[in-house]
Amino acid sequence: MQIAAWQALSTHGDIATNLARLDESARRAAAEGAALLITPEMFLTGYVLGDDTRPLAQAAPLERAREIAARHAIGLVVGGPEIESGACYNAAHLIGADGQVLARYHKAHLFGDVDRDQFNAGDRPTCVADYHGVRIALMICYDVEFPESVRAAARQGAELICVPTAQMQPFAHVNQRLIPTRAWESQVYVAYTNQHGREAAFDYVGHSLIVAPNGEPLAEAPSAGEALIHAEVDPAVVAAGRVANPYLDDLRQELFNL
């Protein structure tokens, strides 16, 4: 399966503009052969929302994102605030090419005051769903920086981990060093899709990337500017990597309280 990661800066609070840009990016990605387009963290609304978080969650942009997926016959990973049972979450959704929601994930590891002031923490380390013959796990930004999260996804059979992110300065080393390590240590593809530019007090580092199970980047975006990058994801490569580097089989899980 070919996937595309779209590095972009969402427009704060302007759902209509963000959806229009998503529509064009989905059209382009589908035309270039991608079966799945991954967008940055909270792209539908912007990330630093403050008092606007709940009103924007209630604007229900997800339904319109589903229409975009179906119109261009491409899967989407998109995110924004979501209210459930009175709590407000930083959410990401995997939408199929027919517009159906295949997976919904709430960010479990909240980063600093920017997350804690806006969101409740999710209660699952990841979620996993099948799409186009690939087992896909969802995480959001800070989640992937914990090796336990990625290992949990791999133990559930994940072959691709999609990570919408809003990674900012001074943490560019996460993109450059930690993400390839996460792919290698659990033998999974990782698509790490970042915002770029500036939002509120944050300078986003860009440098979105798609990494193979051997830790080698397959596609990388620059540190500045919008970019659409592509790579092929092959479950056979994951299976071969796990035979050659059997971390999952050799891990003595009984030694750890995980």
The predicted structure's pLDDT at residue 61: 85
Task: Label residue 253 by pLDDT band (50, 70, 90).
Answer: confident
What is this structure's pTM? 0.96
Over 70: is that where the pLDDT of 258 sits? Answer: no
For 4, 11, 173, the CA distances from 34, given in Å and listed in that order, are: 6, 24, 28
Surface-to-core class of residue 183, CB atoms within 10 Å of its CB (0-12 exposed, 13-18 middle, 19+ buried)? buried
For 17, 92, 106, 186, the CA distances from 49, given in Å and listed in that order, are: 16, 16, 17, 34
Let me know the angle formed at the C-alpha of 91 by 116 and 167, rounded to the nearest 5 degrees.
Answer: 65
Yes or no: say if 188 and 239 are a contact pair by the CB < 8 Å rule: no
H or E segment and range at residue 202: strand 202-205
Backbone φ and ψ of 11, nearest 5°: -90, 120
- Domains contained in the chain, number: 1
Let me know the angle formed at the C-alpha of 64 by 60 and 68, rounded to the nearest 5 degrees.
Answer: 155
Q: What is the mean pLDDT of residues 114-140?
A: 96
What is the tens place of the pLDDT at every residue in 207-234? 999 999 999 999 999 999 999 999 999 9
Could you give the residue numbers annotated as active site? 41, 107, 141
Q: Which domain holds residue 31?
A: 2-255
What is the tens place of the pLDDT at every residue in 151-174? 999 999 999 999 999 999 999 999
Q: What CATH number should be reported for the domain holding residue 227?
A: 3.60.110.10
Across the chain, mean pLDDT equals 96
Q: What is the mean pLDDT of residues 8-33?
A: 96
Higher model confidence: residue 135 or residue 257?
A: 135
Sign of CA dihedral 63, 69, 73, 76: negative
The predicted structure's pLDDT at residue 59: 86
**Residues of the chain with pLDDT > 70: what percent?**
100
Yes or no: say if 204 and 197 are a contact pair by the CB < 8 Å rule: yes
Q: What is the mean pLDDT of residues 108-112?
A: 97
What is the tens place of the pLDDT at every residue in 52-68? 999 999 887 899 999 99
The predicted structure's pLDDT at residue 254: 87
Q: Where are the alpha helices (DSSP H) in the chain?
A: 15-31, 53-57, 61-72, 112-116, 147-155, 172-173, 179-186, 235-244, 247-250
The predicted structure's pLDDT at residue 190: 98
Identify the residue whose tokens are 């809003």: 166
Yes or no: say if 106 and 91 are a contact pair by the CB < 8 Å rule: yes
The predicted structure's pLDDT at residue 257: 72
